[in-house]
Amino acid sequence: MKATNDLDAIELLSNCLLGLGRLARDLPVAEFLLHGARLAVETIGCQSVWWGLAFETKSGKAFDILQADFIGLPESLVKDWRRIATIDPFVQEMMQSLGQVKRVLIDEDRIKSVPVLTEFAERYGIRHVMGMCLDEEATGQSFFMVMYRGSAGPGFSDQEAMMFRHLMKHIVQLWYFSLQNELGRNSIKDILRVALARPDGQLLYAGPEFCEVIQAKWPQWDGITLPAVLVDHFSQLPCTVRLAGASIELFAHGDQIQLCAVRRGDPAQKLSPREQRAAYLFASGLTYKEIARQLLLSPATVRTYLRNAYVHLGVSNKVQLSNSLQSKSSS
């Protein structure tokens, strides 16, 4: 169903949000994102969509992804996307404008002037693109979703962009709440170091600390499927895989596999002066970019500092961070 006016759009959006609530109640977290994305596709209308977790690399010049999934697209898209991410202006705008819907027409001069981008679009039958990234404060990761339409379809309208923005916010919040319930843990420290995977090894979620441990051992890890060594241990659950300086604990969790990274001999660290400064600036209302400019750091480093502050202080949002810092300064 396509909305023909604002009242139709509000009604359509309302019905979709109600549908998302039912999905979050009735489905396990492993299935929620796929069904939520299908509902968004039906509501807005597009030929294909993909979504996942993204993070900025330490250099601050590129982006990488984790936990990608698709509707109407092959898995080869991820590998191809990685090759163009650093030169695609649309990708840069989306990742640097968190919470804002971005749209682009492949025929625009800024896209056509880069042959590899037009080749990518032709390979996957793309002409119209709409995407958005939402930041997850506690983990420092960003959830993204990108919709595509081919040459036969119209461009994404302002009305559709509005609906997409609200749908994304609800999908991400409901997914994160479901994830916390699924893992059965209340501490943000646990969310950062655990992962949830399907029996075939495909990731459903991976916290940043878990990723750091895996990438240290397997630098070429693709971020989508667990390394084969870990998957081979799925038949021996529960078990522990020991790595240099860390270990991975594996055990069955319903129909999924839960993994937890444990660093050996790594006691909880106190905030460094720069971490503390970044935390105070963030709590006072500055953005990642503003903090980075003020402290002469990359946005990626600021994200890491803030994540460490969240973990050390045991908080999960900006309000809790501010209250905790005020409490420490007054004590």
pLDDT tens-digit series, residues 189-239: 567 788 889 899 988 888 878 888 898 888 888 788 899 999 999 999 889
Residue 38's pLDDT is 93
User: Would you say residue 151 has pLDDT above 70?
Assistant: yes
Kindly state which CATH superfamily the domain 6-183 is placed in: Transcription factor LuxR-like, autoinducer-binding domain (3.30.450.80)
User: Would you say residue 269 has pLDDT above 50?
Assistant: no
Residue 12's pLDDT is 83
User: Would you say residue 145 has pLDDT above 90?
Assistant: yes
141 or 188: which carries more pLDDT confidence?
Answer: 141
Residue 81's pLDDT is 87
| pTM (2 d.p.) | 0.76
- The model's pLDDT over 39-60, given as tens digits with 9 standing for 90+, comes to 999 999 999 999 988 766 554 4
Return the closest-CA partner of residue 177 out of 216, 209, 136, 127.
136
Please name the fold of domain 188-263.
Profilin-like (3.40.1840)
Domain(s) labelled CATH 1.10.10.10 in the chain stretch across: 273-330
What's the chain look like in SS3?
CCCCCHHHHHHHHHHHHHHHHHHHHHCCHHHHHHHHHHHHHHHHCCCEEEEEEEEECCCCCCEEEEEEEEECCCCHHHHHHHHHCCCCHHHHHHHHCCCCCEEEECCCHHHHCCHHHHHHHHHCCCCEEEEEEEEECCCCEEEEEEEEECCCCCCCCHHHHHHHHHHHHHHHHHHHHHHHHHHCCCCHHHHHHEEEECCCCEEEEECHHHHHHHHHHCCCCCCCECCHHHHHHHHHCCEEEEECCEEEEEEEECCEEEEEEEECCCCCCCCCHHHHHHHHHHHCCCCHHHHHHHHCCCHHHHHHHHHHHHHHHCCCCHHHHHHHHHHHHHC
Residue 268's pLDDT is 42
Domain(s) labelled CATH 3.30.450.80 in the chain stretch across: 6-183
**What's the whole-number mean pLDDT along residues 275-280?**
84
Residue 205's pLDDT is 85
User: Would you say residue 65 has pLDDT above 90?
Assistant: no
User: Would you say residue 146 has pLDDT above 90?
Assistant: yes
Residue 58's pLDDT is 52
Domain(s) labelled CATH 3.40.1840 in the chain stretch across: 188-263
User: Would you say residue 329 has pLDDT above 60?
Assistant: no
> pLDDT class for 128, splitting at 50, 70, 90?
very high
Q: Give domain 273-330's CATH number out of 1.20.1090.10, 2.30.30.140, 1.10.10.10, 2.60.40.10.
A: 1.10.10.10
> pLDDT class for 319, splitting at 50, 70, 90?
confident
Residue 164's pLDDT is 94
Residue 330's pLDDT is 54
Residue corresponding to tokens 């330490």? 58
Residue 168's pLDDT is 93
Residue 97's pLDDT is 85
Rounded percentage of the chain residues whose pLDDT exceeds 70: 87
Rounded percentage of the chain residues whose pLDDT exceeds 90: 28
Residue 56's pLDDT is 61
Q: How far apart are CA 122 and CA 235, in angstroms?
A: 42
